[in-house]
Amino acid sequence: MLVHICCSVDSHFFLEKLQLDFPDEKLTGFFYDPNIHPYSEYQLRLLDVQRSCNKLGIEVIEGEYDFEAWLEAVKGLENEPEKGKRCEVCFDKRFEVSAKKALELGEKKITTTLLVSPLKSQEQLKQSGNAFYEKYGVEFIAVDYRAKGGTQDQSRVTKEEQLYRQDYCGCIYGLTMQREQQDRLMDEMFSPISAQILPASIEERLEMYKKRMQLEDEGKKYKIIKQKFLNYRQFSLRVTEDKNTNIPAYALSYSTLPRKKVQGNRVKEEVILITLDAFNIASKQEYKNITELIYNPPTFDEELKIKEHLGSCAYDLSPIIILKEIPTKKLTIELEALTYEDVKEKLIII
C-alpha cells in the first residue's frame, strides 16, 4: 500500500495504526507536498518524516517539489477558507500524483495521512480518493483513526516521539489567513538576503532538528523545550545625507526607532553611530565596506555579543547603526523594525 504522507505528526501515529490493521501489507511512504511553503519548511517536515519512517521501518519516497505547478492549480482560490475549494483542488493534485506513483510501483491501494488531521475534512478526502479509484483503478483506503480517542492518542505519540509539531497546514494562503486572524506577524516568510538565521525562524528549527538527528545517531540523550523570549525582525533601513544622498548602512539586531524616522540633531541623541573600523575591532572581522557586511554579517548570536562588547546590552533597543564613516552633514535615518513576544524551541543535551 502506498501511503501519501503530509507530516510526521500525522504520519507516525497513522502508520503505526496501519501496521497493526494491515499486517500483510508492505507500506511505502510517499512524501508529496508541493503546497508547503517556504521551501525550508518543506525540508524540515521531510526531515522529520524520514526520521519517523526510519524508526517504523518504512521506506519513504520523496515526490517532486513542483510548487509553481501547485500555485497554478489553486489560482483564483487564494481566499478560500480551510476545508474549502482550494483544499479540494490541493487534495486532487496530490492524489493524482500519488495514484500514478502507486501504479508505477505496482501498488493497488493508496491512502493518506491527511485522514487523521483534525484540520482536514474526511469526506472531502474520501470523495477525492474515490474519484481517482474510478479513474486509475487504485483503491483508496479510507480509515478513521480520529474516532474513539484517536486524536488524543495521536497527541500522546507526538509528545513521546518528540515529533516536529508545525502550527500551520503548510499552504501560504492558509498561513496568511491564520496569521491575520491571530493578529500575528507572518515571520515564516522572512528570509534575509544575507541568509542570516533569525531566532525562531524555520531555518533555525531546521538546523536544530538536524542536530537532534545527529545526537540520536551518537546515542546521546536530549530533550526539546519551549521558551518565551523577545523576538526581533527588521523590515527596512535607509540612511540619507542632506535628504538625497543614500549612505550604505547596517543596523545591529534589536535596533528600533519609536517613530521609525529621525533626522538632524536628534540623530546623535537617539542613535548610536559606529564606524566600520570600530565595528571590525569589536567583531574581530575585516569588512572592507558596508555592502560586504550586509551580505555576509555575523550570526545573530554573534551580533548580540558584539553589542555587549560595544558597551550595550544584548537586547537594548537603542539603534546601533554601522557606517563606513560618520558624516558631518545632516543625516536622516529611517528604520522600520519590530520586537515582539515569541516562543521558540531549544535543544537541551541531557
Residue spans of alpha helices (H) in the chain: 8-21, 39-56, 67-73, 85-105, 122-136, 150-160, 172-182, 202-217, 266-270, 276-283, 290-295, 300-309
Q: Which of 7, 39, 28 is closest to 114 using CA atoms? A: 7
* Mean pLDDT of the region 198-216: 96
Identify any residues that bridge with 140 across adjacent strands, giving them in sequence order.
110
pLDDT at 243 over 80: no
pLDDT of 129 reads 81
pLDDT of 121 reads 76
pLDDT of 22 reads 96
Order of all β-strands in the sheet with 250-251: 250-251, 320-323, 272-275
Domain co-membership, 253 together with 120: no
Domain co-membership, 240 together with 184: no
As a whole number of angstroms, the distance between CA 3 and CA 14 comes to: 10
Domain co-membership, 111 together with 235: no
**The three grid cell numbers given for residue 325, joined into one nine-digit string:** 564613516
221 is a domain residue: no
What does the CA dihedral 191, 196, 200, 204 come to, rounded to 10 degrees?
A: 100
pLDDT of 234 reads 96
Q: What percent of the chain has pLDDT over 70?
A: 100
Alpha carbon separation from 340 to 197, 343, 348 (Å, rounded): 17, 10, 24
Domain co-membership, 49 together with 180: yes
Average pLDDT, the chain: 93
Domain co-membership, 153 together with 234: no
Q: Is the dihedral of CA 74, 79, 83, 84 positive or negative?
A: negative
Angle at 299 between CA 297 and CA 303, to 5 degrees: 85
Q: What is the per-residue pLDDT across 330-349, written as a single tens digit (0 to 9) for each? A: 899 999 999 999 999 999 99
Domain boundary among 158, 189, 220: 189
* Mean pLDDT of the region 39-56: 97
3-state percent helix, strand, coil for the chain, nearest multiple of 5: 45, 20, 35
Question: How much is the CA Rg of the chain, to the nearest whole Å?
Answer: 25
pLDDT of 286 reads 96
Identify any residues that bridge with 272 across adjacent strands, giving them in sequence order.
320
327 is a domain residue: yes
- CA 21 from centroid of its chain's CA atoms: 34
pLDDT of 96 reads 87
8 Å CB contact between 111 and 27: no
pLDDT of 237 reads 96
Q: What percent of the chain has pLDDT over 90?
A: 78
Domain co-membership, 41 together with 104: yes
Domain that holds residue 344: 229-349
Residue 163 φ/ψ, nearest 5 degrees: -75, 155
* Mean pLDDT of the region 289-293: 97
pLDDT at 240 over 90: yes
**The three grid cell numbers given for residue 32, joined into one nine-digit string:** 508529496
Identify any residues that bridge with 29 across adjacent strands, giving them in sequence order.
3, 60
Q: What is the per-residue pLDDT across 109-143, written as a single tens digit (0 to 9) for each? A: 999 998 888 777 788 888 888 888 888 888 999 99
198 is a domain residue: no
Domain co-membership, 182 together with 277: no
Q: At 246, is the pLDDT very low, low, confident or very high (cuts 50, 70, 90)?
A: very high
195 is a domain residue: no
Alpha carbon separation from 328 to 267, 280, 306, 325 (Å, rounded): 12, 22, 26, 9
209 is a domain residue: no
User: Which residue would you say has higher pLDDT here, 122 or 172?
Assistant: 172
8 Å CB contact between 300 and 198: yes
211 is a domain residue: no
Q: What is the per-residue pLDDT across 302-328, written as a single tens digit (0 to 9) for each? A: 999 999 999 889 999 999 999 999 988
pTM reported for the whole predicted model: 0.91
Say how many domains are in the chain. Answer: 2
pLDDT of 109 reads 93
| Count of other CB atoms within 10 angstroms of residue 211 | 13
